[in-house]
Amino acid sequence: MRSEIRLVHTADSHIGYKQYHSEIRRQDFLNAFSSVINDSIEMNVDAVIHAGDLFDTRNPTLDDILDTIAILSKLKSADIPFLAIVGNHESKQNSQWLDLFENMGIAVRLGTEPYRIGGISIYGIDNVSRSKISSFDYSLFNAHPESDYNILVMHQLMKPFPFGEWDCRKVIDSLPFNVHAILLGDYHIHDKTMVGDTWVTYSGSTERNSASEKERRSYNIVKISNSGIDISRRHIPTREFVFIPVNISGVSDIYEDIFGKIDEHNLKDRVVFVDIHGKTSVPVSYTDIEEHVRSRGALVSRVRDMRIAGNRPDDLSVSVSFSDPDEAVKKEIHRMHLTSAGLLIDEIVRDLNIPKSRVDAESEERIASMMETMDFKQMDFDNEQVYSDNLNSDDKQPEESTQVRRSLIESEVDVVTVQSDEEPETGTSKEQSPENTDPARPEQGKQGSLKQHNLGDFL
């Protein structure tokens, strides 16, 4: 391999994040990413590696997309490849924004096949939901027989770091090649450690996504040579966050004390947090404090009353647990007591294998098939079991809920009749009857005359 290969490792740019509803803060996030790219061009590195969450959302604005394309185009003009994976914030059901950039020739989406730079092979794993980590298929990766170093890029919360969901040791042991470094995104704090003989590092986010991210923002410079791997850190110039602690000891001259503390700081163009401590019995006006901070030139003004949190007893322990999102959704759907058609539509909407453009057609086709199998003459509308297949047998439903569900069933019967492909009998009409105006209780008027309803109104 060459004497030395230099890579910039960055992540969590969250382009498009309009923090504190500020358009200027949205521009700050773009500027931070641009700063990393400009540094990379100036250093003439061999590649820029982005470990996920380039965008803050899966639906960035057109301005965000065009601005990002302009920045990446500068990197391409400098003949520096942009290698990236998909993070959880920007992940779409099918094609990703990263695929668009790859088709434009300004980015490369890393995956199971190695991207080669000199004697180095670089692989990537897009963000994997927690429920699918245990079933991840490592056999899909192809090892390069002449690779001196193998690097893996991931966007996950990894053990042994805080909040880890996926064990680095498990990943290293399961891949069909030796892993010399894992470059990570998702955790916004810079950190690095060794897991066995493998370097594992988070670059941290390029901008502060919350007030808790107090330390300076940064990215990594990874140097690889015949003597090994060296990982160093370079800071990014970002807008300053100012934290002003104020202690309230009495009622007299309270605002004079608070404003005096605030005036000790240079607040121009800063994001400012005033943290109130002290006696809980003394009321303060957050609005007055925030207005004073803004009058001093602050971009963003926030007041945090720390006295409320301070009321907790010292021995109070807080238990934190992370639920499987799929299971949480199932429980919530269970509580909604949806009709059979409603459950079917929910299943279709959440099926990642069905494109959004096909949801309407798929719903129509499958509901039509379901209707064909229903025998409405034999249906017992007094039997709650029709709509309680997914409920526990010991669930007690109030009489009012039973009546509502019976109404919904009757509504669906009307919909099926109206949407039938058969021609109506002579003298029938599908127009709405003016006497029947309650959509929750559709009535049949004259024999063969039906009111039309939309099935979606009753789901």
Q: Which phi and psi angles does 231 have, rounded to 5°?
A: -120, 120
Decide: 277 and 310 in contact? Cβ < 8 Å. yes
Q: Annotation-wise, does 21 bind a ligand? A: no
Nearest CA to 258 out of 297, 288, 294, 302 is that of 288
Dist. CA 78–CA 277, nearest whole Å? 52
Q: Annotation-wise, does 56 bind a ligand? A: no
Catalytic residue among 89, 292, 337, 453: 89
Nearest CA to 153 out of 55, 98, 86 is that of 86
Q: Annotation-wise, does 155 bind a ligand? A: yes
Decide: 115 and 142 in contact? Cβ < 8 Å. no
Decide: 340 and 391 in contact? Cβ < 8 Å. no
Q: Annotation-wise, does 188 bind a ligand? A: yes
Residue type, 22: S
3 state SS of 222: strand
Residue-wise DSSP of 62-80: HHHHHHHHHHHHHHHHTT-
3 state SS of 386: helix
Q: 417 CB contacts (<8 Å, ≥6 apart)?
A: 450
* CA dist list (Å): 76 to 39, 69, 110: 14, 10, 17
Say what the alpha-carbon torsion angle 73, 75, 80, 82 is, to the nearest 10 degrees.
-70
Q: Any long-range contacts for 3-6 (C-beta under 8 Å, 24+ apart)?
A: 3/225, 3/226, 4/223, 4/224, 4/225, 5/46, 5/117, 5/118, 5/120, 5/223, 5/224, 5/225, 6/43, 6/45, 6/46, 6/221, 6/222, 6/223, 6/224
Asked if omega into 398 is within 30° of 0 (cis), the reply is no
Q: Annotation-wise, does 46 bind a ligand? A: no
**Residue reference for tokens 């005033």:** 274
Dist. CA 351–CA 198, nearest whole Å? 38
Residue type, 397: Q
169, with CB counted inside 10 A (0-12, 13-18, 19+), is middle
Q: Any long-range contacts for 135-142 (C-beta under 8 Å, 24+ apart)?
A: 138/171, 138/174, 138/175, 138/176, 139/176, 140/112, 141/112, 141/175, 141/176, 141/177, 142/112, 142/113, 142/114, 142/176
Q: Are strands 218-225 and 4-10 parallel, antiparallel or unpaired?
A: antiparallel
Dist. CA 39–CA 217, nearest whole Å? 14
Q: Annotation-wise, does 380 bind a ligand? A: no
Is there a catalytic annotation at residue 144?
no
Instruction: Show binding-site residues.
Output: 12, 14, 53, 88, 155, 188
Instruction: List active site positions.
Output: 89
| Annotated binding-site members for Mn(2+) | 12, 14, 53, 88, 155, 188
